[in-house]
Amino acid sequence: MDKILIEGGVPLYGEVRISGAKNAALPILASTLLAQGTHKIRNLPRLRDIETFGVLLRQLGVGMEVCGDTARIEVGPRTDHRAPYDLVRTMRASVLVLGPLLARMGRAVVSLPGGCAIGSRPIDQHLKGLEALGARISLRHGYVYARASRLQGTTFCFDIPTVTGTENLLMAASLAKGRTVLQNAACEPEVVQLAEALNRMGARIHGAGTDVITIDGVDYLEPAEHWIEADRIEAGTYMVAAAITCGEILLRDCPHRFMEAPIRKLRECGVQIELESDATVRVSASGRPKAVDVTTQPYPGFPTDMQAQLMALLSLARGTSVIRETVFENRFMHVGELVRMGARIEVQGASAVVKGVSRLAGAPVMATDLRASASLILAGLAAEGVTEILRVYHLDRGYERIEEKLSRLGARIQRVKE
Ligand code: EPU
């Protein structure tokens, strides 16, 4: 297993290019199951989760060849309909094959994902929505069994907005008979990108990006070519890297139009963020950040996927910040590790009270999930001495070549075999 060593205290300077978004790429990969033929996906990030999704697609009988950042996907007239536990347990997003398999093959058998490090994360809304579309669903031996001859359009209101739940239903309803209206739908940019991808394939979806989405079902979809937009969470993470090291980074291909809430919050902390063009942003900081309070929310609120990274920054702020996590019930696993580096953070229910300290000290720490790993890297970049981050496979799931990108910015970071 690899570990990452960082010798902190170096301000980062230079340019970094933001990669395609993992959470946009995964549903678009799943959507290929809806149409027979050759699909092309460009600007695909090279990440462990994308590789895992490729393994799943291949198990379903789909051909996938990746060359550089472009995937060519070959879908035959029929595919298998089973997503096994072995794969789903390593990546929850595998559940995204449920909607498309059911819609095109008339059946799907997909392992229940189970809990994970950030919460219990049920998929009840995915299942209720598919039932509303006419699917017969049963749960047996840890698997979801779903069947339907042809899904029927309906009106369905989510109890809570769910990103992958909305995506699963968008895909399923695209091939349903008649009109589907999804209420209280997730508004995340990744949902919009999936809807645009489906529309390029011949779907008729309106309203994505709002909480009411209308889908007029069609009889078949056709393969298409897609470009994956840059990753707003990766971009936010590099913004914090500039801020926490008091450096200056130019972010290229930065999707700042989807980043209003994190940009506003970072500016409140005193970070300078200049939008130089559509996709170029300059981020710089000097001195300790100001303390701020933040509450995570579904889009367009402050993203839960940026909470851990902001906490690393706020652990060095002047004053006390309160971070409230409302999306996942257990997303403070990084707190204990940051505390081992000298941070003063106390968790009280869904809130973390962060009393800023003037310095962090390098320590051996353990990554528990993807964004927790990112926060430890950020803390390590600012800390005095050496930080040793174990279990970095979490990081490889969602950050493309992070140590290479950070090295180019001047960080003293290396990956070594444990
Ligand atoms: N929820 C339910 N029932 C459901 C679905 C969700 O109770 O059927 C709850 C969840 O437990 C959670 C809340 O609803 O408390 C929101 O979860 P959501 O379904 O929106 O999350 P997700 O679709 O599983 C995606 C991203 C996550 C990101 C969340 C929130 C992908 C592949 N994953 O997960 O990304 O944190 O939305 O924005 O798109 C990450 O990239 O590190 C990551 C975890």
Angle at 212 between CA 176 and CA 171, to 5 degrees: 30
User: What's the 91 CA to ligand 1 centre distance in angstroms?
Assistant: 12
pLDDT above 80: residue 114: no
What pLDDT is recorded for position 119? 67
What pLDDT is recorded for position 393? 87
Q: Is 116 a catalytic residue?
A: yes
> Relative to the CA of 329, which ligand 1 atom is closest?
15
Pocket flag, ligand 1, residue 398 (CB < 6 Å): yes
Using alpha carbons, select from 183, 185, 182 the residue that is nearest to residue 161: 185
For 336-370, b/e burial (b = at least 16 CB within 10 A) is ebbbbbbbebeeeebbbebebbeebbbbebbbbbb
Find the mean pLDDT for residues 379-391: 96
Pocket flag, ligand 1, residue 124 (CB < 6 Å): yes
Q: CA-CA distance, 131 to 135, in Å (whole number)?
A: 5
Is the pLDDT higher at 277 or at 152? Answer: 152
Q: What pLDDT digit, counting tens, does each position of 123-174 carry?
A: 999 999 999 999 999 999 999 999 999 999 999 999 999 999 999 999 999 9
Torsion sign over Cα 160, 161, 163, 165: positive
| CB distance 383 to 35 below 8 Å | no
pTM, entire model:
0.97
Q: What pLDDT digit, counting tens, does each position of 65-99 carry?
A: 999 999 999 999 999 999 999 888 888 999 999 99
Which residue among 67, 116, 187, 269 is the active-site one? 116
